[in-house]
Amino acid sequence: MLGVARTALLTRDDVDDAAADRFAALLDQRAERVPLQHLTGRAPFRHLELAVGPGVFVPRPETEQLVEWALAQLTGVDEPVVVDLGAGSGAIALSLAHEHPGARVTAVERDPQAVEWTRHNAALRAAAGDRAVTVLTGDMTDPALLRDLDGTVDLVVSNPPYVPDGARVPREVADHDPPLALWGGPDGLDVVRGLLTTAARLLRPGGALGIEHADQQGSALPALVRGTGDFTDVADHPDLVGRPRFTTARRSAR
Ligand code: GLN
């Protein structure tokens, strides 16, 4: 950002005034809680560096574990059919395409601004040599979504909006992450209810489902998944600090 290599910065004093001013301005913005990833325009996620900025949710490290679980479900399947519902920057979908080269991945995003970032990152990854991810503008609760994939999908994965309305979130989240990526109704699970209907329809019998959730939803979400009657092997998984973080299940035979 200063236009000077890191080593030069450490060993010499040759940062020009304009660069120093730009850096000070960035520091001011960071002090005002603009996310660091918006200032650099980049967000690291697993093996990728995604383009991010205003209008798209900044991917979080917790979600890297959901991808780890998802990859484990795909081992031994040459060309798994994968759907990421609510893709945002494309962190999950593009990581799966990168780390499982045979995967046929579709990324769905309803927010017209966010989907521009999904498309941008998908184009960058395809140009870098990963198998192309199909990006679709659509609502994960739409009964007509991806009808052509009904009953054929090996894995549905999602980091949906799950923050309960009125919950306190940090200022940099409230001010800079898109509302559509955060808020999930009174108990935070409104979007997830529709997601479960879509997932039950898309997944083949035995197909895997993985959904990220808030740390207070470690019982409510598994109960909701069981309550549909469409899934077996419902389990919940903690993140690296031990907080309940995502629920997984398998589509039962119909
Ligand atoms: N974990 C996010 C946060 O930082 C919420 C993400 C979501 O709703 N999917 O608030």
DSSP conformation letters of 231-249: EEEEEEEE-TTS-EEEEEE
Nearest to 87 by CA among 15, 16, 145: 145
pLDDT for 211 equals: 98
What phi and psi values does residue 105 have, to the nearest 5 degrees?
-105, 135
Report the separation in Å between the CA atom of 130 and the middle of ligand 1, taken as the mean of its atom positions. 27
Question: How high is the ipTM of this complex?
Answer: 0.91
Amino acid letter, residue 29? Q
CA 48/CA 94 separation, integer angstroms = 8
Does residue 180 line the site of ligand 1, with CB under 6 A? Answer: no
3 annotated as belonging to a binding site for a ligand: no
Does residue 63 line the site of ligand 1, with CB under 6 A? Answer: no
Condensed to tens digits (0 to 9), the pLDDT of residues 152-177 reads: 999 999 999 999 999 999 999 999 99
What phi and psi values does residue 118 have, to the nearest 5 degrees?
-55, -50
Burial of 69 per CB tally in 10 Å (0-12, 13-18, 19+): middle
**106 in the same domain as 19:** no
**65 in the same domain as 1:** no
Question: Nearest residue CA, atom 2 of ligand 1?
Answer: 182
Nearest to 49 by CA among 125, 136, 129: 125
Does residue 173 line the site of ligand 1, with CB under 6 A? Answer: yes
Read off the pTM. 0.95
Q: Strands, DSSP E only, in the chain?
A: 42-45, 48-51, 81-85, 104-109, 134-137, 153-158, 203-212, 231-238, 244-251
**Range of 228's domain?**
42-251
**146 in the same domain as 119:** yes
Atom of ligand 1 nearest to the CA of 212: 9
* 17: alpha, beta or left? (left if phi > 0; alpha if psi -120 to 50): alpha
**25 in the same domain as 51:** no
**99 in the same domain as 8:** no
Q: Is residue 37 part of a domain?
A: no
24 annotated as belonging to a binding site for a ligand: no
With the most atoms of ligand 1 within 8 angstroms of its CB, the residue from 173, 187, 190, 245 to mutate is 173
Q: Is residue 172 part of a domain?
A: yes
Total number of domains constituting the chain:
2
What residue has token string 């140009």?
Answer: 127
With the most atoms of ligand 1 within 8 angstroms of its CB, the residue from 52, 163, 190, 212 to mutate is 163
Q: Is residue 131 part of a domain?
A: yes
Long-range pairs of 249-253 with CB within 8 A, sequence gap ≥ 24 = 249/208, 249/209, 249/225, 250/206, 250/207, 250/208, 250/209, 251/199, 251/200, 251/203, 251/204, 251/205, 251/206, 251/207, 251/208, 251/209, 252/205, 253/205, 253/206
Report the separation in Å between the CA atom of 139 and the middle of ligand 1, taken as the mean of its atom positions. 18
**218 in the same domain as 242:** yes
CB 49 within 8 A of CB 91: no
Q: Is residue 209 part of a domain?
A: yes
CA 248/CA 186 separation, integer angstroms = 23
pLDDT along the chain (254 residues), means of 10: 75 81 95 96 98 98 98 97 98 98 98 98 98 98 97 98 97 96 97 98 98 98 98 97 97 91
**6 in the same domain as 58:** no
Provide the CATH number for the domain around residue 118: 3.40.50.150
Does residue 162 line the site of ligand 1, with CB under 6 A? Answer: yes
**65 in the same domain as 114:** yes
**145 in the same domain as 109:** yes
**12 in the same domain as 46:** no
CA 3/CA 151 separation, integer angstroms = 52
**89 in the same domain as 4:** no
Question: Nearest residue CA, atom 4 of ligand 1?
Answer: 173
Does residue 193 line the site of ligand 1, with CB under 6 A? Answer: no
pLDDT for 15 equals: 80
Determine the longest span between alpha carbons in the chain, in angstroms. 69
**124 in the same domain as 210:** yes
> Could you tell me the two tokens for 119?
């498309």
> Could you tell me the two tokens for 172?
């940099």
With the most atoms of ligand 1 within 8 angstroms of its CB, the residue from 165, 177, 211, 239 to mutate is 177
With the most atoms of ligand 1 within 8 angstroms of its CB, the residue from 84, 89, 158, 159 to mutate is 159
Condensed to tens digits (0 to 9), the pLDDT of residues 78-110 reads: 999 999 999 999 999 999 999 999 999 999 999
35 annotated as belonging to a binding site for a ligand: no
